[in-house]
Amino acid sequence: MDTPKTRVVIAGGGTAGWLAAALLTRQLGKLVDVTLVESEEIGTVGVGEATIPTIRAFHALIGLDERDFVRATGATFKLGIAFENWTRPGSRYIHSFGDVGKSTWMGDFQHFWLAARQDGSASPIDAYCYEAQAAEAGRFAIGGDAQVNYAYHFDAGRYARYLRERCEASGLKRIEGRIARVEQDGESGEIVALELASAERVAGDLFIDCTGFRALLIGETLGIGYEDWSHWLPSNRALAVQTRSTGPALPYTRAIAHQAGWQWRIPLQHRMGNGIVYSADYLSDDAAQALLLGSVEGETLVEPRLIRFATGRRMRAWEKNCVALSLASGFVEPLESTSIHLVMTALTRLVQLFPFGGSTPAISARFNAMARHELEDVRDFIVMHYHLNARDEPFWRACREMQIPDTLKARIALFEEDAHAYQGADELFRVSSWLQVMLGQGVTPARFHAVARLMPPAQLAGALGDLAKGIAGQVRRLPAHQAFVDRYVSAT
């Protein structure tokens, strides 16, 4: 006897909704019946155009062909983020996706680099990272001998449409309509159905809330509160605008600090994505728009779009038979391009913990604990960028002087005192990420592990010199990023 399929109803489309539809239909298609409800009347935030390398593994799970995806979404390749003016005006460093140097089991690479720097024989830290050097040179390639850790820049609107076309072609049911009411069971409080403005009723067993900041299901209906993190992440506004490209696409995102926040520049095949993130307590909307439009390069293609947000997290992302994704579950701001990654990891957890026998407190508790730990890790990493600065404007002084989470305080102290960095279990950011940002933001460790002194200074200098020379040689053999993209999308 066949077991009835679990009815999954996704409330809302956009990137989150269609990623959910893509994974569930691809991986659990024989076990679930998926329906997506969205309204063309309701817009999506849809400005997230930068990603991190984990997206490639998720694309494999949903069966995307990379070349087809790059063509369909106007994508370019991303090796990291250039942080400009963050420590102070004129400062610059790259947080790349690559590993920095070579480590031993007794001590990570930074200890050896710090010893060599003390001896006067070390190059800048990014000389020992292939991805950082390729980014600086504007070069990129995949395939053959080019082993590189990369992600993408792409058009979020095109991405959602691309996912939708694939899902609908595979038989997914999409219902156009605005949700007018959420029907709950009188005894359990679980969601039973969505009632649309057309009076159509969409019943389900599991509901996925992709309704954005409104959080119609998890927040408005089930009453799950929001933990505000604005005392750590004070930016609460963003303006986004698209411009014509004025030159070759670089293989990295630019994050440029300004007096009360930062600006992004994200190169696509067909245009440049631009935006400004800021705190309304320190910069008015009009001043932010003037700053943004006064700094973009190329003709603007649309009017700037204002997005208001509050950083933080939903107290529980899974409540009863409802799972919240993306903005409905929390928002940490786009600085390290983690928004789409967080959707993808949440969906991976959902598949692994899928409640085929109905939602239980144990399953939801496990999901919520994992989601909270993951988001707090991302939060700490982003807070660090703001806190470690030497700028002199009121916004930046407040960030430098604020009380930070104890978890982050301990990490910074560990690096400041003894040059140790770590990646905890199930944490996103690797040792190389913490290393690049803490050094880039001006932290100078007081000491380093004495294991680095077991190697004679001349031998250490020679080893580091050979490593940097080898990386430089590899990078010189790479084509220009723009030339690679042009060939990649035109190939048959």
Instruction: Write out the catalytic residue numbers.
Output: 78
Give residue 318's identity as a one-letter amino acid code: W
Torsion sign (Cα): 197, 202, 203, 206: negative
Placement of tokens 């095109």 in the chain: 158
**Residue 116, Cβ neighbours under 10 Å: how many?**
20
Terminal CA-to-CA distance of the chain, rounded, Å? 47
Measured between alpha carbons, how far is 342 from 371 in angstroms, rounded to an integer?
9
| 3-state secondary structure at position 398 | helix
Largest CA distance in the chain: 78
Buried b (16+ CB within 10 A) or exposed e, 428-457: bbbbbbbbbbbbbbebebeebbeebeebee
List the structure tokens of 42.
């309701």
Please report which residue ranges of 361-455 form alpha helices under DSSP H.
361-387, 394-401, 406-418, 431-440
φ/ψ of residue 270, rounded to 5: -105, -5
The partner residues of 253 in beta bridges, in order of sequence, read 81
Cα 267 from chain centroid (whole Å): 16
Pair 174, 164: CB distance under 8 Å: yes
Torsion sign (Cα): 61, 142, 113, 126: negative
List the structure tokens of 341.
């990654």
Tell me the DSSP string of 27-86: HHTTTEEEEEEE-TTS-------B--THHHHHHHHTT--HHHHHHHHT-EEE-EEEEESS
List the structure tokens of 38.
């969205």
